[in-house]
Amino acid sequence: MTDWEPKIVSFLCNWCSYGAADLAGVSRMEYPPNIRVVRIPCTGRMSPKFALAALREGADAVWVSG
Amino acid sequence: MITFKLNGKKVQGEEGQYILQVAEKYGVEIPTLCHHKALEPAGMCRLCTVELFDGRRTRFVTACNYPIWEGMEVKTDSEAVHQGRKLIVELLLARCPEVPLLQKLAEDYGIEKPRFKTEDDTCILCGLCVRMCEKMGNSAIALTGRGVEMKVDTPFHIQTDICMACGACASVCPTGHITLEKIRQEITRKQNVELIPSEYDMGLKGRKPVYVPYAQAVPNTPAIDRDVCIHFKTGGCKVCTQFCGVNAIDHSQEDEVVELEVGSIILSPGFKPFDPSRFDTYNYAKHPNVITSMEMERILSASGPTGGHLVRLSDHKEPKKIAWFQCVGSRDLNRCDNAYCSSVCCMYAIKEAVIAKEHAGDDLDCAIFFMDMRTHGKDFERFYNNAQGKGVRFVRSRVHSIDPIHGSDELAVRYVTEQGEIETETFDMIVLSIGLEIAPEVMALADKLGIELTDGNFCKTTSFEPVETSRKGIFVCGAFQGPKDIPQSVIDSSAAAASAGEILAAARDTCTRQPEVVPETNVVGERPRIGVFVCRCGINIAGVVDVPAVRDYAASLPYVEYVTDNLYSCSQDTQEVMTQIIRGKKLNRVVVAACTPKTHEPLFQETLTNAGLNKYLFEMCNIRNQDSWVHKNNPELATEKAKDLVRMAVSKVALMQPLEEAELEIKQVAMVIGGGIAGMAAARSLAKQGYQTHIVERSDRLGGQAHRLFRTSDGQEVAGNLKAMIKEIGDDPLITVHLKSEIKQVEGFVGNFKTEIVKEGKSEELEHGVAVIATGGAPLSPDEYCYGDDPRILSTLELDEKLMADDPELRKLESAVFIQCVGSRDDQRPYCSRVCCTHSIENAIELKERNPDADVYILYRDIRTYGEREYLYKQAREKGIIFIRYRLDAKPRVELDGKDLTVTVTDHVLQQPVQIRADLLTLATAIIPNKDEALAQFFKVPLNDDGFFVEKHAKLGPSEFATDGVFLCGLAHYPKPIDESIVQGRAAASRAITLLARKKIHTSGQVAETDPMLCSSCGVCISICPYSAPSFIPEDARMFAGKAQINPVLCKGCGLCVASCRSGAIHLKGFDNDQIFAQIFAVNQD
Amino acid sequence: MEYMGVEPDRLHFSWISSAESTKFVEVVSEITEKVKALGPNTHYVKKEAKVA
């Protein structure tokens, strides 16, 4: 790809944001295709290590949403 | 089968197919403006022109209607074709220069300005509309005229009755030439040409005849509205069948009469929002900015017609001032027949005002015009106080009329202030807080079933059997029983289920079947053999994401042994094929790239189980809801994203291990703590459904506070009913009553509690599977209003005792005063005790009946006779009981001077202090909880600031705790009258039985586990877990004493402990560090 | 994050309920825009092994 597209690693809570993401799909909304979702059981599961690892692995940003 | 060459490649198609159809199948794009899948091709726009070589010479044909033949050669993208199309676009653009679609096409073909003379048409004469109208079985429009005169029109250009204004023509028009407006003005004679109103969006938005009622509907499948579907009017159309990839649409289905044999019926038909159109003075029907509260709910909703953007409907501008009018269609006998209070409107109006301010910012002015503010639910008073703090204005006034201001979209309101002055204010929007009423169909149903209704047309029940209708075996729950909010409806529904369960206990489990168990293959230690199944989901995924590319990419990933794509992975036949493949290819890990795991994970896990694989050796990746559906205009990046997601899932699944689901027996015994009304109701229901039950009661008798109550709000004597209930408990062989007993220690967890109770110094251990906490409440002993200084000053319960004893003094009273909110709704106890208004009014009426000459005063802050209790308030006023409102900052004063007992209060109408000489002063004292901290500790359940227990979910889980196996009812939850206590007792029993009836619990495999070697015994996990799953291994244990352990039965797999563990000693199975890291590492690997 | 030299806009937190799909879309768009403005992440990215 010539145009750079960022990759945003997104940690989404299974019960909240993951559901919102699904509903956005059901409602056929549109948003930029840059997020890569990692489903986690609850934002409580989130550890700073995950965010750091993602950035280290070349992710352009990290988003945690509960 | 016909074989021919398409752009040099050999392709195949069926006899009779056209070039375009075959090209589409092979993913070759041919532009067209006049083609529609469901219509016969017409070759009108000529844009699909392709080059055809028949062996000897080259010709140009239209791909949409040229049938294929053996050996032909077609080129879709040659220079000649391109030039031809460019000319066509140029000509079309010259005809319709303002059509965006053509402008876009022109840009694609590099046309800046057409060389031809431009016109100002918008119709390209593609004829889609005409063919569509014909398909509808109507043929109301046609292409009329010849040559340059040709246009889409009705015969003789006369508006026609044939047109049904279905809008099909407008829906297919590629240029926007045909609009609803045009249909209305030029085509149809029908008067009301409008969208089909969406019921869910309260008509603020349209919907299609084929529709899913709302995003969360269950089942989430579309339905056809036969009343508006054209097929059911003309026999034509059926366009939808052409688009459904699985032939699921059957227009020939008819209504079936199904006969069911049942032992019990539960009625939950709900309510109908009051229609305020008949209130002429509010202009609801005429003015767009006067809306109902239900419409406001949709406007505030993120998924609503305005996408959650708060606007007024007249001009879609953001409002600056909004007013809510309470009691529209409630507490009103003048303009409607609903004398009752709808119970929920005060709270929802406050909620809407607060949310509106959240949406629009603090500058938005929100005013609620009300008569009495009724926030009697749990934590509602706090919400009311907070709303005042946030600047929501509360105006105590009933507004008579709304006057539209001529020449503007604003509305004028004239009202009388508390001080008696007339004020005028203008608002941008007015929300009518409409009440709840029973629909005529429901009344007809009640008539058919032969059940009695109340004056308000609600289902008639009694305080002691609040969910039982007048006909045996038929139960009721929700708003049909009486206007109520969500928590109360949920409590009702559990109770109705329990009541039905009681009479059907003997039939339990007689209609169930056992599924066959497939033995699980052991895959531990095997090299991962991953199968990746990519779903096309018809065109839902494949229409955007390049599914074959994703599939082939998956095949290149490590450990992937098998890949395929399915049309619909979730269909039953695909499931069977998948089972065969998993077995045949000896797969030991499976990835399904399809929709969302939230809905489909269990289905695929079942497939794994059926194939003999542990269901946790599975990962789903969401390439529909979170990919194809949301990136439809970006297919390339969507395909990239799908590949990334598949790679992440494959990396994770390779590390998945089979997980065990622990199985645990549930002790088939219940314990109810507290023997009051709620506790007895719970125990009685449990026992009637066949479960052995212990009641542990601290005092020396059953019945609790109810012994001190005189009558219920529906006029039933409490004493007799209570006695009957206690007898029923005593006579039930399954119930053991432990009086004068206290709980000393509780061990264990859901299914296996061991509770030590102490009775008069002797201790006994009881084993039980579930516990119901019904520890009740008590009346506050007030330290104000001279309570205790004079025998004429009583608490409510003391007056009840005098009434029960028929104290002759009560018949001689000349003047009696009630003071409300004694200890409730103040700084110390910012909650409403819910029962006192009704109770005092009831007693005031009784005093008036015993001595009609007595003067009876009720000093109140807001009268909260919710639901049909409102009738009592009305009756009290008719009987001449005097209501005087006081403010919290000007409480009544009570003075004792020798023989004289005087109450002084500032009258809200006169604005003057009024002195009342009283023979009797009754203080409506607050209900306070038996704040039992020890018990909360024993069962690891929380108490709120007021000392009431905190339920699992304020709305959806009101009778249970977040801790499994522990349930809640009665005053321990929140102040409530007898009927609501009985209902909640039953509800707690009902919830408990859903657990008991399973006999065994299967825990989830995705739970946390400690590694005691690494654990540092810091205890953070124990304090942080909301479910009390971790604990220390006892100090006297042989192994790992003092280290943390996690009970898999209680663990919900949230991972809070994992993230908080400083020693890294906790693992969350199924979401372990290495598995999540694997996903993270796979994000960027190419 | 800043201390490490990573731009704060590379780490986002939000709270979205399962019904708030509109908010979800807004947040995603906003974050994507911010990140696009930052350009590719270069700090702390594991260096690819260079082949001589």
The values of phi and psi at residue B621, to 5°, are -125, 140
Do residues B291 and B425 both lie within one domain?
yes
Strands (E), B372-421: 393-396, 402-404, 411-416
Which chains are within 8 Å of B by 3+ CB pairs? A, C
- Residue C20, chain B, CB below 8 Å: the answer is yes
- Residue A27, chain C, CB below 8 Å: the answer is yes
A4, A29, A37, A46: best to mutate for the C interface, most C CBs within 10 A? A29
C-alpha–C-alpha distance, residues B104 and B448, integer Å? 62
Closest partner residue to C31 (CB to CB) among A19, A24, A63 is: A63
Domain boundary among B55, B88, B108: B108
C-alpha–C-alpha distance, residues B645 and B1083, integer Å? 8
Specify the number of domains making up chain B.
Answer: 7
CATH of the domain at B856: 3.50.50.60
Q: B1071, A45: Cβ pair inside 8 Å?
A: yes
- Compute the nearest-CA separation of C52 from chain A (Å): 22
- CB-CB neighbors (< 8 A) of B301 in chain C: 19
Q: C41, A60: Cβ pair inside 8 Å?
A: yes
Q: What is the pLDDT of residue A1?
A: 42
In a domain, B192, yes or no: no
- Compute the nearest-CA separation of B487 from chain A (Å): 21
C-alpha–C-alpha distance, residues B772 and B991, integer Å? 10
**Residue indicated by tokens 């509305």:** B411
- Compute the nearest-CA separation of A37 from chain C (Å): 11
The residue extents of the domains of chain A are: 8-65
Give CA angle at B777 (B771, B779), nearest 5°: 170
In a domain, C31, yes or no: yes
- CB-CB neighbors (< 8 A) of A40 in chain B: 1055, 1071, 1076
- CB-CB neighbors (< 8 A) of C19 in chain B: 301-303
C-alpha–C-alpha distance, residues B770 and B748, integer Å? 11
Q: What is the pLDDT of residue A28?
A: 83
Residues with Cβ within 8 Å of B998's Cβ and at least 6 positions away in sequence, in order, are B666
Asked whether B751 and B664 are in contact (CB, 8 A), the reply is yes
Do residues B452 and B546 both lie within one domain?
no
C-alpha–C-alpha distance, residues B175 and B129, integer Å? 11
Look up residue B1023 and give its amino acid: S
In a domain, C2, yes or no: no
Q: A17, C18: Cβ pair inside 8 Å?
A: yes
Count other C-beta atoms under 10 Å from residue B10's C-beta. Answer: 8
C-alpha–C-alpha distance, residues B969 and B153, integer Å? 69
**Residue indicated by tokens 């061990």:** B747
C-alpha–C-alpha distance, residues C49 and C52, integer Å? 9
In a domain, C51, yes or no: no
C-alpha–C-alpha distance, residues B83 and C7, integer Å? 51
DSSP state string for B212-267? -SSTT-SS---EE-TTT-THHHHS---HHHHH-TT----TT----------S-EEE
Closest partner residue to A61 (CB to CB) among C17, C31, C46 is: C31
The values of phi and psi at residue B900, to 5°, are -90, 130
Peptide bond into B288 cis (omega under 30): no
Q: What is the pLDDT of residue B55?
A: 85
Do residues B279 and B421 both lie within one domain?
yes
In terms of Cβ atoms closer than 10 Å to its own Cβ (0-12, 13-18, 19+), residue B930 is middle
Asked whether B20 and B35 are in contact (CB, 8 A), the reply is yes
Do residues B295 and B414 both lie within one domain?
yes
Residues with Cβ within 8 Å of B391's Cβ and at least 6 positions away in sequence, in order, are B357, B362, B366
C-alpha–C-alpha distance, residues B78 and B58, integer Å? 12
Do residues B644 and B587 both lie within one domain?
yes
- CB-CB neighbors (< 8 A) of C25 in chain B: 630
Do residues B818 and B949 both lie within one domain?
no
- Compute the nearest-CA separation of B401 from chain C (Å): 36
Do residues B362 and B406 both lie within one domain?
yes
Q: What is the pLDDT of residue C44?
A: 65
Asked whether B63 and B29 are in contact (CB, 8 A), the reply is no
- CB-CB neighbors (< 8 A) of A35 in chain C: 28, 31-32
Q: B303, C23: Cβ pair inside 8 Å?
A: no
Which chains are within 8 Å of A by 3+ CB pairs? B, C
Specify the number of domains making up chain C.
Answer: 1
Distances (CA, A) of B872 to B309, B538, B658, B817: 42, 61, 63, 17
C-alpha–C-alpha distance, residues B673 and B949, integer Å? 13
C-alpha–C-alpha distance, residues B798 and B304, integer Å? 52
In terms of Cβ atoms closer than 10 Å to its own Cβ (0-12, 13-18, 19+), residue B144 is middle
C21, C23, C43: best to mutate for the A interface, most A CBs within 10 A? C21
The values of phi and psi at residue B738, to 5°, are -110, 100
In a domain, B788, yes or no: yes
C-alpha–C-alpha distance, residues B806 and B662, integer Å? 61
Count Cα atoms within 13 angstroms, Cβ side, for B977: 28
The values of phi and psi at residue B390, to 5°, are -85, 0
- CB-CB neighbors (< 8 A) of C22 in chain A: 24, 29
- Helical axes B635-654 vs B1073-1083, angle rounded to 10°: 150
- CB-CB neighbors (< 8 A) of A60 in chain C: 10, 35, 38, 40-41
Beta bridge partners of B763: B758
- Compute the nearest-CA separation of B598 from chain A (Å): 8
Closest partner residue to C19 (CB to CB) among B302, B307, B630 is: B302
In a domain, C30, yes or no: yes
Distances (CA, A) of B531 to B558, B589, B592, B601, B653: 11, 6, 8, 16, 10
The residue segments making up the domain with residue B760 are 665-778+929-1001
- CA torsion angle for B859, B864, B869, B872 (degrees, to 10)? 20
Q: C20, B307: Cβ pair inside 8 Å?
A: no
Residues with Cβ within 8 Å of B550's Cβ and at least 6 positions away in sequence, in order, are B534, B565, B593, B623, B639, B642, B643, B646
Is the whole-model pTM more than 0.90? no
Q: What is the pLDDT of residue B786?
A: 95
Q: Render pLDDT for B998-1027 as a digit per residue (tens, 0 to 9).
A: 999 888 889 999 999 999 999 999 988 888
Q: C44, A57: Cβ pair inside 8 Å?
A: no
In a domain, C20, yes or no: yes
Closest partner residue to A17 (CB to CB) among C9, C24, C43 is: C24
Q: What is the pLDDT of residue C49?
A: 43
The residue count for chain A: 66
C-alpha–C-alpha distance, residues B10 and B107, integer Å? 32
Q: Would you put residue B693 in left (φ > 0), alpha (ψ -120 to 50) or beta?
A: beta
In a domain, B202, yes or no: no
Q: B624, A39: Cβ pair inside 8 Å?
A: no
Nearest to B1056 by CA among C24, A13, C14: A13
**Segment-wise mean pLDDT, segments of 10 residues, chain C, 52 residues:** 77 84 88 89 61 41
- CB-CB neighbors (< 8 A) of C44 in chain A: 52, 55-56
Residues with Cβ within 8 Å of B1005's Cβ and at least 6 positions away in sequence, in order, are B615, B616, B659, B660, B661, B1069, B1070
**Segment-wise mean pLDDT, segments of 10 residues, chain B, 1086 residues:** 91 92 87 91 91 90 93 92 92 92 90 89 92 91 87 87 88 90 84 83 91 83 91 92 88 94 96 94 94 96 86 94 97 93 98 94 95 97 96 94 93 91 95 97 97 97 97 97 97 98 92 86 91 90 92 94 92 90 94 92 93 94 93 91 94 92 92 98 98 97 96 95 97 97 93 95 96 97 95 97 95 96 96 98 97 96 97 97 95 93 90 93 96 91 94 94 94 97 98 95 88 92 88 88 89 89 90 90 77
Residues with Cβ within 8 Å of B717's Cβ and at least 6 positions away in sequence, in order, are B710, B711
Secondary structure of B321-367 in HEC code, one letter for each residue: EEEEEEEECCCECCCCCECCCCCCHHHHHHHHHHHHHHHHCCCCEEE
The residue segments making up the domain with residue C18 are 8-38
Contacts with B, C 21-50, CB within 8 Å: 21-23, 25
Q: Would you put residue B454 in left (φ > 0), alpha (ψ -120 to 50) or beta?
A: beta
C-alpha–C-alpha distance, residues B866 and B178, integer Å? 53
- CB-CB neighbors (< 8 A) of B638 in chain A: 33
Residues with Cβ within 8 Å of A12's Cβ and at least 6 positions away in sequence, in order, are A18, A21, A37, A38, A39, A40, A65
Exposure b/e, B761-796, CB count within 10 A at least 16 = b: eeeeebebbbbbbbbbbebbebeebbbeeeebbbbb
Give CA angle at B164 (B162, B167), nearest 5°: 130
Do residues B389 and B492 both lie within one domain?
no
In a domain, B204, yes or no: no
Do residues B499 and B560 both lie within one domain?
no
Q: B633, A30: Cβ pair inside 8 Å?
A: yes
Q: B1083, A7: Cβ pair inside 8 Å?
A: yes
Q: Render pLDDT for A20-51 as a digit per residue (tens, 0 to 9).
A: 898 888 878 889 999 999 999 888 888 888 98
Q: What is the pLDDT of residue B911?
A: 82
Nearest to B978 by CA among B690, B773, B705, B642: B705
Do residues B895 and B800 both lie within one domain?
yes
B214, B297, B299, B303: best to mutate for the C interface, most C CBs within 10 A? B303
Do residues B293 and B398 both lie within one domain?
yes
Do residues B900 and B1024 both lie within one domain?
no
Count other C-beta atoms under 10 Å from residue B899's C-beta. Answer: 7
The token pair at A9 is: 């690693």
